[in-house]
Structure 1
Amino acid sequence: MKFRQALLGRSAAAAILAAGLSASSAALAESIVVQGNHRVDSETIRSYFIGGDANEGVKKLYETGYFSDVKISRSGGSLVVHVVENSQQINHVVFVGNSKVKAEDLEKEVRLRSGGAYSDSSAQADVRRIADIYRRAGRSAAKVSYRTVTVPNGTVDVVYDIEEGDKTGVKEIRFSGNQAFSTSKLVGMMETTEMNYLSWLKSSDVYDPDRIAKDAEVIRRYYLKNGYADFHVTGVDATYDPAAGGYVITISVEEGLPYTVSSATVESHLRGVDASALEGDLRIHAGDLYNGDQVDKTIEAMTREVGRLGYAFTNIRPRGDKNPADHTVALAFVAEDGPRVYIERINIHGNSTTRDYVIRREFDIGEGDAYNKTLIDKAEKRLNALGFFKKVKIANEQGSSSDRVVLDVDVEEQSTGSFSISGGYSTTEGFLAEVSVSQSNFLGRGEYIRTAVSVGQYAKGIELNYTEPFFLDQRLAAGFDAYSKVSEASTWQYYNNWVTGGTLRLGIPITDEITFAPRYTGYFSRLTIPNKSNMQYNDCGNTSLYNADNKYIAGSDGNQYTCLTNGEASLALKQAQGNWITSMVGYTLSYNDLDNLRDPHEGFSANIKQDFAGVGGDSKFIRTTGDLRYYHELYFDNVVGIARVQGGNITAWGNDKLRVVDNFNLGNSLVRGFAPGGIGPRDVTDTTSSNAGNALGGTNYYGASLEVQTPIWGIPKDLGLKLAVFADAGTLLGYKGATNFSALTGNNYGCGGTKIPSGSVNGVNQPTTQASCITVGGDNGMIRSSVGVGLIWASPMGPIRFNYAFATSKAKEDVLQQFSFSGGTSF
């Protein structure tokens, strides 16, 4: 029998063990009497009881699945073991009715196996296991039963019949005891959501105790961050309501009152470390609202500092002396000697894809180092933030001695790759589509790689991105970007531009909030101006197309057209035609303390970027830009105010002048309600046709925006819809390029009083060719402004935004665009 074969090893081990036992132990083995066995030999059964607890032996025999009954008794000085063997062997284990959970996932959980012995007790236990799997998958109403089918060879097939039922989700989330923050506010912070008409699209409404525990911790941290030092969650109750078809979750809290910090001090009980040496690490000060996050950051900063000073066995312990009368708390951070405990080992479990070193490098301590709970908690936060794991848990176990501890890191991996097909529309690139493949844990090494191909109405390109987050085994994010993009002429741009290049970059964290990122960028560009039937933007120099006297051509509609009628590219653009190589070094200095990167409600985000072009190549300029955004939640739930200021300057150096395409060309990215390239200096020489595509750009810009975003009442938050109202103001100015292009055209038309050739076109006397000197309009520094509304959809597969803006001040040369739309979806 297979069981006998499977246990031969165990029997042999038992025999060897018995040979080495003392005489008293041997006597014990001889005093074990086995009854009722036919297929399993007595010696094998005895091995489960030699030198161990008899009840434990019974349990282990049951676990083999080969016995339907095991009883023990005493007879004289002997232990009597009476067994009843299962008489049937399993041919196959089959699952019927399952579609939401794969059969291979169920096979991993059940105990009965093909070729093993059948028992009713094991089958019943498997039914409970399968039901639990469905409960964790959000289908608590699933029904599971089993049956056996006898096959001709005397074995049986075990069949598990499954009625999966509907998804059992969270029908309602309630809070009890909350006064400071509304239930809708707290529910909005949770990852768990309530069931609604979008349930077929999401899984966040599935009842998951682990996820709800994480949600409760998020709420606790939120209260502590907002001054409620006494807050705690008193209970989480989940009740399944069959009538409603879902769970009702009730979270009970005790808020307490908000506290203000009356003082924040440092106490050092470490010999040789003065308290003043640690005061610079304080992240919270007198007069501040109590903030649990800042307390944690202070502890982390002080732990690093005392470690740098050589004090490995140190605890930084916060102490709060509360004054309930005036709701203040006096904080003291106490640095003291901790227990001299070392990390003996770090064991990692559950990582089948992610390599061990990817997990270990998130620890600031390693095997052999002093045990430090603060740094271990920090590592757990980092691991959870990677996005590689559904959950991470770090537990301690006693090591080989009292001063040794073993860290057990349990992770549950999740998918980190994606294949995306996107489609959308933007006002600058028209209709567009993109196919991309990305992997944020490439080969389990924690590396990020992405490649994308895009095709649009006016643009197409290919891109490759790679990032190694731990370059040279340091917390440095190194990577590169390679790209090639072609943008074609359109209503807003009278030229084609092909750009191919790449960027080498490095991210150096200065603090948790501040990052310095140097880079090198090099690219080749080719600018051409089309002159085809539907885009005759460069035909004024082609006199063979037109009447030799009046420079016009007769159209098929009977009208007469000059080279200017359908729009002509500015001479500044024509001069920029050709091939160009740009080679530059630069950096970004950024600050970010946003509470949520995808949907911020509180915090600052700021960056300064500077590039120096002229490290080889043809371009020579210094470009500087800055962008600051502040988010603050207003008086109503989930209503967020956003303030933004931005500005930039570009300056040529040496004897070079800026090409028109190097200038800043801005529109709705600075002031909504204006077309792309619709603000600032523009070639307005030709008054007979639109100059929408002849933006010249400027060397300086600045602007400010105020925006309020709010959920739309009555629409579930899962839909991701928000309403926005905004006001923008800004300007673009400072065209420093040439205005006389006589050398390019070979004539002096329109310069110094020289007349431009003209003629009668459709009975109207008008210029019939392009002037050699351009007139620049809109370069007066006037502040443009607008007000408007927007609809934002944070869809699961891509952001989409609609804006409608009305310009409240503009220059006469500006080009408006009241409606704008951008976004797309992935599937």
Structure 2
Amino acid sequence: MQQRVRMKNRVCQLSGIIACLVLLWYSGQPAVALSAEGVSVGVLPFFINSQEPLEYLGRAIPDMIASRLEKRGEITVVPTPKLTAALRAHGWTTLDEAKAVQIGKTAGAEVMVGGTLTKLGSMLSLDVTVFSVTGTREPRRVYVTAADTDSLIAKVNELVRRLNFLILDRQVVSEVRVMGNRFIEKDAILYAIQTRKGEVFSPEVLQEDLKKIYQLGYFKDIQIMSTDTEAGKEITFQVVEKPMVKTVQIIGNKTLKLEDIQKVMEVKPRTILDLNKVVGDVERIKKLYVDKGYYEAEITYKTEQLDEDFASVVFTIKENDVVKIKKVTFSGNASISARELSKVIETRKKHWLLSWFTTIGIFKDESLEKDVERLTAYYYSKGFLMAKIDKPSVEFKKGEGIYVHFSITEGDRFTIGSIDFKGDLIYDPALLIKKIQSKSGQTFNGRTLNDDLVALKGLYAEKGFAYADISPLTEIKQDEKKVNIIFSIDRGEKIYIEEIKISGNTRTRDNVIRRELRLTEGSVYNSEEIKRSKQEVNNLGFFETVNINTEPGSKPNLVKLKVEVKERPTGSFSIGAGYSSVDSIMGMFQISQNNLFGRGQQLTLMAQLGGRSNYYNISFTEPWFRDTRTSVGFDL
């Protein structure tokens, strides 16, 4: 029996055919009546064909098969005493169908299982026959082979799985094949489906597999063929691939560069033609143009079949004129003027001059979303804690431009009620009040509150608590239009400097930089000292940039300081000439080095040569004599 399901472009056409497939498949299968306790099965002793004494396996294998069959829950194995009594009554000397049926009837079984174990060299073969006691099925056979006795148990498990399918009249998938694929790998198709070799054949699963293969987007026609074989159902997926994209052309782009358009596209040469991706690319290209102000840009596509295997895709672009924002309006802003709000947002109407060489007036969806956040934050900074900005409305009027409108619900303006501190207080609350800008009675300002958090964390960082967690807890008094602020402080562990790493100093020695630092390994972390250290190193004049950052140390309470510098020239040479009534023409030469040999020492050589006299000078300065801040030097 061979069954075929065909699909052209629409999966929904498959449902009726699959329904027929299900009926057709089940109509040819004799059913086993399942009792509430499952199918009753008797497992007979196995016969041994071997020169070695393997009788123990003849008894052990049936026991293993019986226990594993019953473990699956749908089969009930005939109890050993019943089966033993039936064997005594009828005898069991050869693998005989009539005798197996008699024993089964006596034992009350619906199905009997018997077989032989054959050993040739190290190879073992288990040949099993399934007998229908009711006579509704011909004897069915299944076998497995094992390389040696060590691998026999694994093969018994495989045998039981196949016996389970036979006894319950479930067909097994004996093979899964893919045909017709040229560009798409077979494994990619098999990975997408659930039907597997050795699993139970299921028309429902096959229907889902068909959908999944189609959803890959690589095929224009799919056929599924199932063939009955002695080993089970052989499933073949016959596919017809969509053509491969040979060339992708983009025509008509003047404003945007070709490479910028190609970056957002998914359709590329040497990929399978997928119309969903082509349509998606049209939208992506359109968005690029909209972001540049070409709101009326038109993008179309055309596909051309070059031969049986290849096709080309051509995208045609008609840019049209740039469309600018004509007007931006606000409603509901009773407390803040539209002019003030316009300065907050990025979306702005076109300017008669600036729009010619800037992006002012260009409409962007991303900017619009961020503008809602900007307006909300701005109102929050003005004390409007309940302000709500609706999604802006955008209206395009052909020949005029784009109109954008923001609808605002301001709510009440709140003032600060009380300010308090709780948690790990290492400073007097009166001092903390002085360090923050927020004051009781002021209009609540979200930005000021953020600045206060930075200031408080800085205070704690000066005492070594670099990771202090400070959170502002707000208690809103709706009726009083006030908000009470409580700064909750968790100072965490005191942090120490584990290591100081210096990088970027290709000429200057490490110790020249280290001696300018206000902190050493083992010191308590101090943010203020780090700032001063940065300034001290910068004051040397040896570097273009100085950065000091931290990174986690080997323990939670340790950090590493990373001092990163970029060297700059520290030497100079000057030459000059002059005239005096005494020496007539004079020449002046000077060479100086402010970082001699990278040691931070200063050396200057100067010569003044005249007609009647010459003057020479050598100047040397050691700014850190014996690693102290004592400066020594001489002039000759």
- TM (norm. structure 1) is 0.36
- TM (norm. structure 2) is 0.45
More strand by share: 1
More helix by share: 2
CA radius of gyration, larger in: 2
